[in-house]
Amino acid sequence: MPDAGTSRPLLDDATDTTADAPEVRRGHRADREFGAKERTQWQIAFQRFRRHRVAMISVVVFVLLLLFAFVGPLLWKYGTDELTIDLSTPPDGAHPFGTDNLGIDQLAVVMRGTGQSIKIALMIGLLGTAVGAIWGVVSGYYGGLTDSALMRFADLLLTIPGLALAAALGHNFGGSWWIIGLVLAGTATPYVARVTRGTVLTLREREFIEAARALGASSSRIMLRHLLPNAFPVLLVNATLLIATGILAETALSFVGFGIRPPDTSLGLLVYGGVGAIDTRPWLFYIPGVFIILIVLSVNFIGDGLRDALDPRQTRERR
């Protein structure tokens, strides 16, 4: 049996442990409350984008359009030049988008036209943004004579009507989709260059750029590793706007006969071909038109969501 001298310290230890337990629990709660993992800027932006319901729906719609345009032709039983015995058939189970007066299945044709229009729009958005970004960063970073020369050249290009130039070159090169996309991307480049230059002018005097210069970073490293990444949110939003504008530009060119030419096709060319049959075969006109609207609206809403998510001054909550 333990004596009194040994029982007292055991009782004191138990009492001390019981008294310290609430403090330990409070410490654990504090650790849980204030020990949350720090999120990066892109993670925060992604959370903001997810709260933009219209933008999320638009992403789903645009992905479905991409699958329709580029995977659909691999699965559909008809081709764009395959004649059937169903002449001028309205949409039904065998031909969901109907047929024309030659019996060509319009679902296959619309899938081909959607793919060509999207390729042109993506080429305009991505190529125009990439070249314009480099142009604007160089102009804004160096300033002085370099800036003046590059911006005056941009002003000169802005005076050239892009649609007229694309129409002339596209006509001379047989309506090739990549020529049309290349020309329209070139006419969009000066706009992106001016926007990028304005962003760089506000960034080049910031403390992190001065620190990079003090550490001996080269001009190319500062432009590629510091200025371009910080201008990327603005460039991303501008790219979506160029994609939507590119769809409309291609539609306008094809509608007036200076865009893509048969035997190839595009949504603009399909709309143009359906104008004459709008009273007798309205599906030839309205279905391609609906796809143009879906592409433009989805891309615009995605750009709207990206702008709200990437703008650090944005405080509006999407519900």
d(CA 87, CA 18): 89
Task: Give the pLDDT score at 19.
Answer: 45
Provide the pLDDT for residue 293: 95
Q: Is residue 21 part of a domain?
A: no
Any domain includes 268:
yes
Nearest alpha carbon to residue 147 among 138, 135, 158, 139? 139
The answer to the question of residue 139 being in a domain is yes
- Determine, yes or no, domain membership for 135: yes
Residue 317, domain member (yes or no): no
- What is the per-residue pLDDT for 285? 93
Q: What is the pTM of this model?
A: 0.81
In the chain, the number of structural domains is 1
- Residue 230: name the closest of 189, 190, 201 by CA: 201
**Tokens matching residue 193:** 């260059």
Tell me whether residue 254 is in a domain.
yes
Give SS3 for 104: strand
Q: How far is CA 192 from the centre of its chain?
A: 14
CA–CA distance from 59 to each of 53, 66, 208, 299 (Å)?
10, 11, 35, 8
**Predicted pLDDT of residue 47:** 87
pLDDT tens, the chain, 319 aa long: 444 444 444 444 444 444 444 444 554 454 444 445 667 777 888 888 888 899 999 999 999 999 999 999 999 989 898 888 889 899 998 899 999 988 999 999 999 999 999 999 999 999 999 999 999 999 999 988 999 999 999 999 888 888 888 888 777 776 788 888 898 999 999 999 999 999 999 888 888 888 988 888 888 899 988 898 889 888 999 999 999 999 999 888 888 778 888 888 999 999 988 988 888 999 999 999 999 999 999 999 999 998 888 875 554 444 4
| Predicted local confidence at residue 4, as pLDDT | 45
The C-alpha atoms of residue 87 and residue 105 are separated, in whole angstroms, by 9
CB within 8 Å of 120: residues ≥ 6 apart:
177, 180, 181, 184, 246, 247, 250, 266
Using the structure block, give the residue that is written with the tokens 């769809």. 247
pLDDT of residue 37: 62
- The residue segments making up the domain with residue 265 are 55-310
* Per-residue pLDDT at 160: 85
Quick check: is 25 in a domain? no
Read off the CATH number of the domain in which 202 is found: 1.10.3720.10
* Omega within 30 of 0 (cis) for the link into 22: no
